[in-house]
Amino acid sequence: MTYKEKQINLCWTPFGYSYSVPLSLGYLKSNLTDNGFKNVKVMDLNQDFWVKNSDELEKDQNLFEQRYQSLLQNVTNWNNPENYYEKIHSIGAVKDLIDEYSDTLLENNPSIIGFCIFNTNIWFTLEVCTALKIKRPDVKLMIGGPEATASYYDPTHKLKEMIQSGVVDVLVFGEGDITVGDVCDTILKEEYDYENIDGIFYLDKEGKVANTKWRNFIPNLDDVPIPDYSDIKFDLYKQPEIPIVLSRGCNYSCIYCGVKLYWKNAANFRKRTSDNLMEEVKYLDSVGYLPRGQFNFLSFKGAYVNTDVTRKAETESGKSILEEFCEKIIDHFGGPYPEVPFLWGGWARVDDNLTPELCKKMYDAGCHHLTFGFESGSARINKEMRKGYKFREYDNEYAATVFRNCMEAGIQAVLFIIVGYPTETKEDFQETMDFLEENKQWIDAVYCMSTFILSKEMMSDEGKGKMSKFAIRSAIGGGGDIDMKLMEEKPKYLAGDGIHPHAIEWESETSTYEERLERLEIFKEWAEKNDKISTSPRVDDWVNPNDGTTMD
């Protein structure tokens, strides 16, 4: 057996949503296969978990459902280790799952097992890794994914401890498409020259946790092979939402947004061409993932779909990539929706490039809804957030026109708002509510899950120096475990350090936590009264499998 024939397993562990398809692993598999690795298997144990428990989950009164489903709604149960151990690990079934899944992962005798971690499955994954190392110490374990990348910024992150203790062999941060091949190569050749591979943490020859430099982002996304889902049985997912990533990174840098952790700065924003995107649509169609006559859903991912705000021609045709892509979809399927055999949704920015003509074309290409980061009806707060409206000052008339264009074309406009952004006054909040009331005919639904959460992303180095001057007097972590008395001796504004991830109960000069909760209540009452609670996408035969959360 050559080293390229050795078995590599790539895995998603519970707990994620039941409809999520493992896009990242599809990317890694196609990259590894392109590099000559012969035996790469994608194993979605998160999906296995939902399938195995589907009978139980359908019984309303079932304790299992109550426990898992409600725990899943609240991400702080999963990304906060104390909550995880207290509320989740204590459920006996979880211990059995760890044992079962570590056995499943070893069944085909792998040499390497790779895990993709998010903030929701990190603690469970680390437990599976520990069980694996006890059962088969010779199998190398590598970890990548968004939470692995986020851990790059935290020197005391638990993941570093796991490398130190020898449970995790390699941690990959940043874009993993090329790194994964390099790591598998060096392990399977038994060379272990980790120091020559960009974008990883590992245990160096002195037994210390070391890292190499951040890997350069792939300049041309069309060079990345499209995801390989050949190990995935789409029909087993509850209402699968198939993601197609239009772009990576974002060309803006809103202060509160976590995107910069993963993609650094706006200069790393890249888009795929419409031809390359069509290749993926055709692949999904050819392997039967887009069944005709049955409701199916694609989710156009990336920062947002209408990224062509520079207004420079992006293509030879002089049109935006989005417009070209829509035209090619309609063309390929022989006419406008319903000839197009799927619906799609995506995130969008409030931008007047969403003209009536473009909206119509998007609708014809299957666009069902757009989810806007509207955030606030206050122009001042939009500025505070550095939303970066480039071509004109933000104003509410401008936003209303964009939503009207969508709704008139038949596309549902779903809005996200932020309640209680730092410096938001009662009057600013009222401006948001006034906007919603005045424009409700152009809005299908509005979504806001909680009051504003100070995140470690927001306070990361990438945001340093740009932070608005809001005085935070104290902050308590989302898990309720850290009490921070920050401000007296610290500078007037915060950046970089001191804030516990996901602090929700903070207090500033313009609001207390209780005041923000009151604002949230006002919003919720309005949303209920006007039937604007986000249950998007609203399709008659669609049952949102994750009631209480939003599909994006």
CA–CA separation, 237 vs 243, rounded Å?
Answer: 13
- 142's contact among ligand B12, ligand SF4, none, with CB below 5 to 8 A by partner kind, is ligand B12
Q: Judged by CB under 6 A, which stretch of 24-32, 274-282, 494-502, 531-539 contacts ligand B12?
A: 24-32
d(CA 12, CA 45): 6
Query: Which residues ranging from 67 to 126 are in contact with ligand B12 (CB under 6 A)?
Result: 75, 114-116, 118-120
Nearer to ligand SF4, 303 or 484 (CB): 303
Interface residue with ligand B12 among 124, 262, 300, 344 (CB under 6 A) is 262
Q: What residue type is assigned to position 378 of the chain?
A: S
C-alpha span between 108 and 86 (Å, rounded): 33
Residue number, 225 or 388, with CB nearest to ligand SF4: 388
Query: Residue 486 in contact with residue 474, Cβ under 8 Å?
Result: yes
Is residue 422 within the footprint of ligand B12 (CB under 6 A)?
no
Q: What is the footprint of ligand SF4 within residues 338-367 (CB under 6 A)?
A: 349
Q: Which is nearer to ligand SF4, 162 or 254 (CB)?
A: 254
Q: Nearer Cβ to ligand SF4, position 375 or 444? A: 375
The residue nearest ligand B12 at its CB is 16
User: How many positions of this chain bind ligand B12 (CB under 6 A)?
Assistant: 40
Residue 32 near ligand B12 by CB under 6 A: no
46 binds ligand B12 (CB under 6 A): yes
Complex with ligand SF4: residue 110 or 345, whichever CB lies closer: 345
The CA–CA distances, whole Å, from 465 to 253, 473, 493, 503 equal 13, 19, 9, 20
Q: Are 321 and 314 in contact (CB under 8 A)?
A: yes
Peptide bond before residue 291 is cis, with ω within 30 degrees of 0: no
Q: How far is the CB of 301 from ligand B12 (least distance, A)?
A: 4
Q: Which two tokens stand for residue 546?
A: 């994750």
Give the orientation angle of helix 23-34 with respect to helix 177-188, to 10 degrees: 60
Max distance between CA atoms of the chain, in angstroms, equals 70
- Least spacing, CB of residue 248 vs ligand SF4, in Å: 11
- Smallest separation (angstroms) from ligand B12 to the CB of 227: 8
303 lies in the site for ligand B12, by CB under 6 A: yes
Stretch that binds ligand B12, among 13-21, 128-136, 402-410, 427-435 (CB under 6 A): 13-21
Tokens for 178, please give them: 């090329």
- Residues in the interface with ligand SF4 (CB under 6 A) total 10
Of residues 160 and 369, the one with the C-beta less far from ligand SF4: 369
The answer to whether 468 contacts ligand SF4 (rule: CB under 6 A) is no
Q: Does 45 bind ligand SF4 (CB under 6 A)?
A: no
Nearest CA to 450 out of 480, 416, 501, 483 is that of 416
Query: Of 242 and 411, which has the nearer Cβ to ligand B12?
Result: 242
Among 24, 76, 296, 353, binds ligand B12 (CB under 6 A): 24
Structural tokens at position 30: 């196609």
Q: Is 28 in the site for ligand SF4 (CB under 6 A)?
A: no
Site for ligand SF4 in 47-106 (CB under 6 A): none
454 binds ligand B12 (CB under 6 A): no
| Nearest-angstrom CA–CA distance, 390 and 310 | 9
Position among 9, 27, 126, 453 found at the interface with ligand B12 (CB under 6 A): 27
Q: Under rule CB under 6 A, which residues in 300-319 are in contact with ligand SF4?
A: 303-304
Tell whether the torsion through CA atoms of 540, 543, 548 and 549 is positive or negative.
Answer: negative
Asked if residue 155 has a cis previous peptide bond (ω within 30° of 0), the answer is no
Which residues touch 418 (CB under 8 Å, ≥6 apart)? 256, 375, 376, 385, 448, 452
Report the nearest approach of ligand B12 to the CB of residue 26 (Å). 7
Residue 11 interface partner, choices ligand B12, ligand SF4, none, CB cut-off 5-8 Å depending on type: none
Cβ(315)–Cβ(324) under 8 Å?
yes
DSSP-assigned letters across all residues of 373-411: EEE-S-HHHHHHTT----SS---HHHHHHHHHHHHHHT-
Q: Which does 429 bind (CB under 5 to 8 A by kind): ligand B12, ligand SF4, none?
A: none
Cβ(473)–Cβ(447) under 8 Å?
no
> CB-side exposure of 539: number of CA atoms within 13 Å?
20
361, 412 contact by CB (below 8 A): no
Q: Which residue has the tokens 């890794």?
A: 129
Q: Which stretch binds ligand B12 (CB under 6 A): 10-18, 32-40, 417-425, 497-505?
A: 10-18
Choose the binding region for ligand SF4 from 167-175, 248-256, 355-363, 480-488 (rule: CB under 6 A).
Answer: 248-256
Q: Which DSSP category does 459 fall into? A: T
Residues 423, 454 contacting (CB under 8 angstroms): no
Interface contacts to ligand SF4, rule CB under 6 A: 250, 252-254, 257, 259, 303-304, 349, 373
Interface contacts to ligand B12, rule CB under 6 A: 12, 16-17, 20-24, 27-28, 46, 75, 114-116, 118-120, 142, 144-147, 149-150, 172, 175-177, 180, 241, 243, 245, 248, 258-259, 262, 299, 301, 303
